[in-house]
Chains A and B, each alone.
Chain A
């Protein structure tokens, strides 16, 4: 390494790294929009919500009273599925998987899809109680055979709604401390 390249290498690297960071952030490429992992048990929102017309709050019981929407306890699942065994072979197999977890006294390790960074607060109850539907953020979840992240969950996407650009329009605070506190 001659003198010149030595003096260029380190600042050059820093420049490239900084550029990469900014491009990545600006392009929104860090969003996991569309992420749709295969879950350990193929839970079907289509059957539960679209066909059986179950209310979202039956399982996500805390969505209107807590920051956290609430993940149903295994006992909630088994409340019905000790009786309901499914009709098609596929469904029977999945319910069987659920029962196996329950018999082992293990929770199903669901894979998380929607995740905001730690420095953002998203109080579910305020959105639900303001009349924002689940679908506004989570997409047409009742028709998803396998749940995917329908929205980018990036800040620009949040702010669009907070400044009243959604349909129907909502008005909410959008100063920094509304979410970053």
Chain B
């Protein structure tokens, strides 16, 4: 459909570049014909490129499996890496591993896209004339060693800073020893995704950073914003434990979720209590009996009846689990108060500090990094080294880390990928990916989880541990302390039982033993405490929450993690402002309408997504997207940390829920990038639900998609309404209403001759299917795209006898086929090229 102007432009004499329809068709026709003819000629010349030296134990097309440890977060799950033809192609959980027991989360699965990431640093780079330029390793190490020497000779070693990604195992200790050898202070171990308030509270209450939660032993689980199924703490074992507990229909614990936004954890709850952000403390006080339901209702905006029933249920359910999280301004106080509720017999029964996870110890808080930023601005840092962490992105922009980092005289990055922090560096010494290097972790006390290379490095990178050893060897004062060639030898020297024990343990991926790491907490520096959320101004509460897959942003350049729909909103590749449909309706906002969310720190304009699982005065935005310098895929979306004011809870963690915001309609529209057409079932019964009581009693329950479901339930809920039962379904009590019949349909079997099943077929049957000589199709004599019968065959099948059913069209066409083949020069040239020993082409079936 073209407008008049279009037509004038394309067909007029003054349209030199316009392609006429008729010409286009001509070209198309000739092109198609040419392709058809040429496409049937011989295959293009293809090369077979052998290995120079074959990788160890490589059989092409057959996989090797290596047990190693996932380093995508600090939990330390065991993975099995499948490596084919020298390249790792798949990760799965290690079934023997005590932490993840065979499971692996989406972030772990996507580690492969970090390994092969197209934006990875190909090799070391150094800043020359203001630009990062590739250098070779000799030069890069020379620069690094020289800068270390300069820093020390100028007396600046004491003010050098090393920020490492948070991890357990022997590397942190190795790193601190190396820093001490150069006169530098211990490193900062940073994990932006950790809930610092909860870790601090747990230490105070239980003496460990992260106890194991035994959901099976609990009758009631109360989660106050603690998304233990999303990414809060040791996610994989928590998911497994919870799933196992809930699969036991007799003793499944009830889950009540308290919080302004229903996360995946909230959607798994039996009840959601949608309190106002920042009012969680009132709920905890209600449960503890320090406040009345009326006072709590006043503070939270939840009805008093609901809260009263909740308090009574909590009081009568023991043992239970109460956990709190969610990054509020009073996160530490809420977590401490929630932990105190567990003192009524839960500790040791449902909350097990002795089986705690060690991946959350010795972590530096964001408050320490803010203090560091202040020091960097005033020139108090001589040398900054960063490995694996990205503080320039993961701290609120109001902290000003990037600006402060730019003031440091020399910055070294060990990052494998470009990110906001490495872009500011003067020297980049790219680390191996975790699947390319040696290492270890101690995820639970008494288990050493081993990390080994699953493949040779993809690019010209080097393990940071090896770089540190190499640089120490160059330094006359330190060379003697590092007699080992590399970090692997250092690990072997430290491993209980030495090389033999390590070799025996590697196939399993872990060993018993302990690296006896200290688990002492770091002292928290003075925090920049946030004022209560009610003191900020705005028409809605702003809830910033960590994206369940992309997390603090480190997964943003992995397309799998961008593409996988958020488990709650089903959003991909996009940052949206989630709002309650009622509120959106009142403000005249449909899905995709742009709104401006303005706080004291800045504003963002983004599309609205109506989500019923959100408190009516709240707008929620996920973190992790909207990078500026983290590669081609990471640019998608927006970063809510840009509008989050600088402020911390009293444990030094970023207060993600600390401010109100002014939400106004911005005008304009953006398509919502979602995999979900509608969040409702429209009565089709796609997601079936049945009450456990019905299931246990063998009753069919009622269809959750049925508009009359409530009435049916009221009336007893024992009968499926007439007409709901599918045709031919099983007897009463065995079918799900609305479900299609699963009965075997004979007509759906593939029509395969018994003979075609080879050894798997019935040896007594003589069914040859369409290759039977008597089959109507005559296929036994006439095979499509066929040529010669084998010369070794005494009776060429295709020529057996003259059947009366021989196809006349075939007979008519056969001479033409041979002519065409000769005309195209194929037959003669093939014979010549093959030489005298070539197969006689004349046996070609169609040339009689």
A16 to B830, CA, bound (A): 26
B378 interfacial contact with A, CB 8 Å? no
Docked-complex contact B760 and A173, CB < 8 angstroms: yes
Docked-complex contact A155 and B783, CB < 8 angstroms: yes
Docked-complex contact B50 and A155, CB < 8 angstroms: no
Docked-complex contact A28 and B61, CB < 8 angstroms: no
Interface stretch of the complex, out of B51-59, B151-159, B317-325, B418-426: B51-59
A28 to B821, CA, bound (A): 8
- How would residues 25 to 45 of chain A score, 1 for a CB under 8 Å from any chain B CB and 0 otherwise? 111111111111100000000
B29 interfacial contact with A, CB 8 Å? yes
Docked-complex contact B833 and A156, CB < 8 angstroms: no
Docked-complex contact A154 and B60, CB < 8 angstroms: no
Q: A13-B33, A36-B835 are in contact. Are A26 and B46 (CB under 8 A)?
A: no
Interface SS, A side = loop
Residue among A110, A162, A174, A175 making CB contact with B48, cutoff 8 Å: A110
User: Which of B29, B46, B758, B760 neighbours the largest number of chain A CB atoms within 10 Å of its CB?
Assistant: B758
Docked-complex contact B839 and A74, CB < 8 angstroms: no
Tell me the smallest distance from the CB of B491 to a CB of chain A, in Å. Answer: 29
Docked-complex contact B821 and A157, CB < 8 angstroms: no
Closest residue on chain B to residue A152 by CB atoms: B787
A24 interfacial contact with B, CB 8 Å? yes
Tell me the smallest distance from the CB of B629 to a CB of chain A, in Å. Answer: 36
Q: Can you name 9 A-B pairs with beta carbons within 8 Å? A: A13-B33, A23-B813, A65-B59, A70-B60, A74-B51, A148-B833, A156-B789, A157-B787, A173-B760
Chain A residues with CB below 8 A from B830, complex form: 32-35
B837 interfacial contact with A, CB 8 Å? yes
Docked-complex contact A173 and B756, CB < 8 angstroms: yes
Closest residue on chain B to residue A32 by CB atoms: B42
Chain B residues with CB below 8 A from A145, complex form: 835
Docked-complex contact B756 and A9, CB < 8 angstroms: no
Q: A23-B816, A33-B839, A152-B787 are in contact. Are A160 and B793 (CB under 8 A)?
A: yes
B-contacting residues of A (Cβ < 8 Å)? 9-10, 13-14, 16-17, 20-21, 23-37, 61-62, 65-68, 70-76, 102, 105-112, 115, 136, 139-140, 143-146, 148-152, 154-157, 159-163, 165-167, 171-175, 178
User: Which of B29, B45, B61, B831 neighbours the largest number of chain A CB atoms within 10 Å of its CB?
Assistant: B61
Closest residue on chain B to residue A162 by CB atoms: B758
B755 interfacial contact with A, CB 8 Å? yes
Chain B residues with CB below 8 A from A70, complex form: 59-60
Chain B residues with CB below 8 A from A10, complex form: 25, 29
Q: A27-B817, A62-B61, A71-B48 are in contact. Are A34 and B833 (CB under 8 A)?
A: yes
Using A110-B48, A156-B783 as known contacts, list a sample of 4 further A-B pairs with CB atoms less than 8 Å apart, ordered by residue number in A. A28-B821, A65-B59, A112-B47, A175-B752
Chain A residues with CB below 8 A from B790, complex form: 151, 157, 160-161, 165-167
Docked-complex contact A156 and B793, CB < 8 angstroms: no
B818 interfacial contact with A, CB 8 Å? yes
A72 to B759, CA, bound (A): 33
A66 to B84, CA, bound (A): 12
Chain B residues with CB below 8 A from A9, complex form: 29
Chain B residues with CB below 8 A from A105, complex form: 52
Closest residue on chain A to residue B48 by CB atoms: A110
B62 interfacial contact with A, CB 8 Å? yes
Residue among B787, B792, B826 making CB contact with A154, cutoff 8 Å: B787
Residue among B46, B51, B841 making CB contact with A115, cutoff 8 Å: B46
A144 to B834, CA, bound (A): 10
Closest residue on chain A to residue B797 by CB atoms: A165
Docked-complex contact B797 and A36, CB < 8 angstroms: no
Docked-complex contact B62 and A27, CB < 8 angstroms: no
Tell me the smallest distance from the CB of A29 to a CB of chain B, in Å. Answer: 4
Docked-complex contact B50 and A73, CB < 8 angstroms: yes
Docked-complex contact A171 and B759, CB < 8 angstroms: yes
B714 interfacial contact with A, CB 8 Å? no
B771 interfacial contact with A, CB 8 Å? yes
A151 to B791, CA, bound (A): 10
A71 to B789, CA, bound (A): 29
Pick the 5 closest A-B CB pairs, nearest first.
A156-B786, A34-B830, A28-B787, A173-B758, A27-B817
Docked-complex contact B60 and A159, CB < 8 angstroms: no
A-contacting residues of B (Cβ < 8 Å)? 25, 29, 32-33, 36-37, 40-43, 45-54, 59-62, 750, 752-753, 755-761, 768, 771, 783-790, 792-795, 797-798, 813, 816-818, 820-821, 824, 826-827, 830-831, 833-835, 837-839, 841, 844-847
A152 to B837, CA, bound (A): 15
Docked-complex contact A65 and B783, CB < 8 angstroms: no
Q: A10-B29, A160-B797 are in contact. Are A107 and B758 (CB under 8 A)?
A: no
Residue among A16, A28, A115 making CB contact with B43, cutoff 8 Å: A115
Chain A residues with CB below 8 A from B784, complex form: 25-26, 155-156
A174 to B750, CA, bound (A): 14
Q: A74-B52, A115-B46 are in contact. Are A171 and B758 (CB under 8 A)?
A: yes
Docked-complex contact B839 and A150, CB < 8 angstroms: yes
Docked-complex contact A156 and B787, CB < 8 angstroms: yes
Closest residue on chain A to residue B830 by CB atoms: A34
Docked-complex contact B46 and A111, CB < 8 angstroms: yes
Docked-complex contact B793 and A167, CB < 8 angstroms: yes
Closest residue on chain B to residue A175 by CB atoms: B756
A157 to B757, CA, bound (A): 18
A61 to B62, CA, bound (A): 12
Residue among B50, B818, B839 making CB contact with A107, cutoff 8 Å: B50
Docked-complex contact B33 and A74, CB < 8 angstroms: no
User: Which of B53, B813, B824, B837 neighbours the largest number of chain A CB atoms within 10 Å of its CB?
Assistant: B837
Docked-complex contact A20 and B792, CB < 8 angstroms: no
Tell me the smallest distance from the CB of B484 to a CB of chain A, in Å. Answer: 29
A35 to B830, CA, bound (A): 6
A73 to B788, CA, bound (A): 35
Docked-complex contact B36 and A140, CB < 8 angstroms: no
Docked-complex contact B33 and A17, CB < 8 angstroms: yes
Chain B residues with CB below 8 A from A16, complex form: 33
Q: A154-B787, A157-B790 are in contact. Are A148 and B49 (CB under 8 A)?
A: no
A139 to B756, CA, bound (A): 26
Closest residue on chain A to residue B45 by CB atoms: A111
Residue among B52, B789, B817, B846 making CB contact with A160, cutoff 8 Å: B789
A28 to B834, CA, bound (A): 17
Q: A108-B50, A156-B786 are in contact. Are A34 and B756 (CB under 8 A)?
A: no
Docked-complex contact B817 and A23, CB < 8 angstroms: yes
A109 to B597, CA, bound (A): 60
Residue among B40, B797, B839, B846 making CB contact with A34, cutoff 8 Å: B839
Tell me the smallest distance from the CB of B777 to a CB of chain A, in Å. Answer: 14
Chain A residues with CB below 8 A from B40, complex form: 20-21, 24-25, 29-30
A33 to B42, CA, bound (A): 9
Tell me the smallest distance from the CB of B19 to a CB of chain A, in Å. Answer: 17
A37 to B43, CA, bound (A): 12
Closest residue on chain A to residue B35 by CB atoms: A17
Closest residue on chain B to residue A1 by CB atoms: B22
Chain B residues with CB below 8 A from A14, complex form: 32
Docked-complex contact A73 and B51, CB < 8 angstroms: yes
